[in-house]
Amino acid sequence: MKIIKNSGIQLIDRGWSIACDVTRKNKTDLLFVSHAHSDHTTRHVLENTTILSSHYTEALIKHFFPKLKTNNFVRNLEFEEVKFSQVSSGHTLGSTALQIDSYGKRVIYTGDVSIQKKGKLIEPFRPKKCDTLIIESTFGEPKYQFPPFEEEIKRAKDLIEDYLLKNIPVVLMGYPYGKAQILYDNFSSLSDNLILHESNLKIQKILESVNHNLSFNYNSYKCMRENNLLENKKPWILFSPLISGRNEFLRNLKSKYNARLFAFSGWCNFSSYKFQMSIDHGIIVSDHADFNELLGIVEKCNPRKVYTIYGSSLCFASELKRRGFNAYPLTKQKTLDFYL
Ligand SMILES: [Zn+2]
């Protein structure tokens, strides 16, 4: 098998070739998209390319790229001795990892990954024995060790409940696709006055079009502001993209309504982040695996070869080597031949 890193990962073997999470033009007619974050998607596909993705990823891609040259989305694919299947990667709602069973050997490409259970919506990645593992390493350094998810959610809940009791509204910030769904899942029961920023609303409507059960009672921020309801409906919870507290939008919410700002990110693990982002509370919740989770995945998959990609790929590969794994970083434009 040949593995090529360019704007994504390309795997080529006996009679098949698949591009994974490419962000630019690619030449294969089989593409795997693990999830619909912009660093994993491309609008530049060949005509009638077959795209392996989840229903959620398909809906989001179609929304972001309405002129995509293909409508050929599939969930799994099988021919002769080769089977491509998707399993939940635990990163976002609908994110998947790719499992390739080819002539009796197994390759797993994780995309962005997490093995922690983060509520009812997102199934965590469940590591499986494989021959070759291609694993993301965003937090692949020992300094990236985060507290347990439940602990941080409990800390945030206590703070939010306390503010709401004092009639103080809160703004909960995270990416509108990925983090936001974790926040709705864990915090929407705390208030009857839930508000979605327009960016969150747009993504939520797309996800609801795939699964009506995701719908819950919320108002749009625009509607609340235009009808001057933000004062009367206090205290509320506003779900917003993660932006700096110095941004005019948030400065207004603070000065007019005394709102408190919560950021949810793995980067909150570093005290400087809170000041850098000018927020009131940093809650350490990431949709990526931290260093120990990544190690756990590799140990459970117990592959003969590991390739590290994205983020701290060099550091994580050397940490794996120290632990006896046959690990290599995949850096840009690197081509490797390996045999299943
Ligand atoms: Zn992602």
How far, in Å, is the centroid of ligand 1 from the Cα of 223? 30
Give phi and psi for 280, each to the nearest 5: -85, -40
At 94-146, the pLDDT tens digits run 999 999 999 999 999 999 999 999 999 999 999 999 999 999 999 999 999 99
334 to 3, 109, 115: CA distances (angstroms): 8, 17, 28
Whether 60 and 189 share a structural domain: no
State residue 124's pLDDT score. 97
The tens digit of pLDDT for each residue in 20-59 reads 999 988 888 999 999 999 899 888 888 889 999 999 999 9
Expressed in angstroms and rounded, the spacing between residue 264 Cα and the centre of ligand 1 is 15
d(CA 38, ligand 1 centre) in Å: 8
Q: Same domain for 71 and 181? A: no
**Which tokens in the block code for residue 7?**
């704007």
- Ligand 1 centre to CA of 287 (Å) is 8
Q: Which residue has the higher pLDDT, 299 or 334?
A: 299
Q: Are residues 17 and 124 in the same domain?
A: yes
CA 91–ligand 1 middle distance (angstroms): 7
Question: Which residues are in the CB-under-5-Å shell of ion ligand 1?
Answer: 37, 112
Query: Based on the domain organization, do 105 and 138 belong to the same domain?
Result: yes
* Residue 92 CA to ligand 1 centre (angstroms): 7
Q: Is residue 228 over pLDDT 60?
A: yes
Average pLDDT, integer, range 266-294 = 95
**Mean pLDDT for all residues in the chain:** 94
Long-range contacts of 15-23 (CB under 8 A, 24+ apart): 15/80, 15/82, 16/79, 16/82, 16/102, 18/52, 18/84, 18/98, 18/100, 20/98, 20/109, 20/111, 20/134, 21/111
> Is the predicted pLDDT of residue 339 greater than 50, yes or no?
no
Distance 206 CA to ligand 1 centre (A): 17
pLDDT exceeds cutoff 80 at 338:
no
**pLDDT score of 337:** 52
pLDDT digits (tens, 9 = 90+) for 152-192: 999 999 999 999 999 999 999 999 999 999 999 999 999 99
Total domain count for the chain? 2
How many residues in the chain? 340
**Domain check: are 116 and 67 in the same one?**
yes
CATH of the domain at 79: 3.60.15.10
Domain of 275 in residue numbering reads as 149-283
Q: What is the whole-number distance in angstroms between the Cα of residue 45 and the centre of ligand 1?
A: 20
Output the pLDDT for position 58: 97
What confidence score (pLDDT) does residue 271 get? Answer: 85
Local confidence band at 6 (pLDDT 50, 70, 90 cut-offs): confident
